Amino acid sequence: MKYKITRNIKYDFVGQSYSTAYPNLHKYPATMIPQIGIELFKELNIKNGKLLDPYCGSGSSFVVGLDRGLNKMYGFDINPLAILISRAKFTKVNLNTIKLYQQRLRCAVYNFVKKEENLKQINVPDFYNIKFWFSQNILQNLSVIKFFLEKIKNKDIKRLFLVAFSETIRECSYTGFVLDFPFLC
């Protein structure tokens, strides 16, 4: 049986990605590009109201809602990483405060690793098949970073750094693909 395919170029965003129009904090699988939702909302003349996204993922629908003037948005997801990304993406934080925390974090990590005996204080995760994902050196380095991230008291800043940390974990793994990992728990 053959199906007739109707192509609507209005919704054709070939060559575009999420970050073509909007900043993206984290690579997340199967992310809808906001441009699609914005076009749909325009077509349906949605300019205000509330949005409920029961499978919010990394928050593409919230980008749509903000673009179209929605004032209340709610989202749920089974993946804790998705919630972390969405919350970090849509929480206002002062850029200067982020820079200050980033400088403090960098200095703290640098000063800590200068003394090799400090590394004995760090708990490196050890669970079944972890060597499939990471080298021992990478595990130790990630554990040091996580040790200092846990010391951040400001939950909004900490959340933002954990998103960056999650992306770092993904990039450092042998496979480049980690959706939910014990480092984030």
pLDDT digit string, tens, across residues 35-63? 999 999 999 999 989 999 999 998 999 99
End-of-domain residue from the set 44, 65, 89: 89
178 and 113 fall within a common domain: yes
179 has pLDDT over 50: no
* Distance separating alpha carbons of residues 44 and 11, to the nearest angstrom: 14
Phi/psi class of residue 54: alpha, beta or left (left: φ > 0; alpha: ψ in -120 to 50)?
alpha
**Total number of domains constituting the chain:** 2
Reported pTM = 0.82
149 and 176 fall within a common domain: yes
* pLDDT per position as a tens digit, 74-109: 999 999 999 999 999 999 999 999 999 999 999 999
Q: State residue 156's pLDDT score.
A: 97
137 and 172 fall within a common domain: yes
80 and 119 fall within a common domain: no
44 and 122 fall within a common domain: no
Structure tokens at 107: 């200095």
Residue 20 lies in a domain: no
Give the CATH number for residue 50. 3.40.50.150
**CA end-to-end distance (rounded Å), the chain:** 48
Residue 72: strand pairing partners: 50
* Distance separating alpha carbons of residues 140 and 68, to the nearest angstrom: 45
Residue 135 lies in a domain: yes
**Domain of residue 77, residue span:** 9-14+26-89
132 and 149 fall within a common domain: yes
101 and 162 fall within a common domain: yes
Identify the three-state secondary structure at position 60. Answer: helix
Q: Which distant-in-sequence residues (6+ apart) come within 8 Å of 63 by Cβ?
A: 22, 34, 37
Structure tokens at 178: 């980690």
104 and 180 fall within a common domain: yes
* pLDDT per position as a tens digit, 103-135: 999 999 999 999 989 998 899 988 888 888 899
76 and 123 fall within a common domain: no
Residue 136 lies in a domain: yes
110 and 84 fall within a common domain: no
Residue 4 lies in a domain: no
Element (H, E) at 101: helix 95-114
Answer yes or no: are the C-beta atoms of 75 and 56 closer than 8 Å: yes
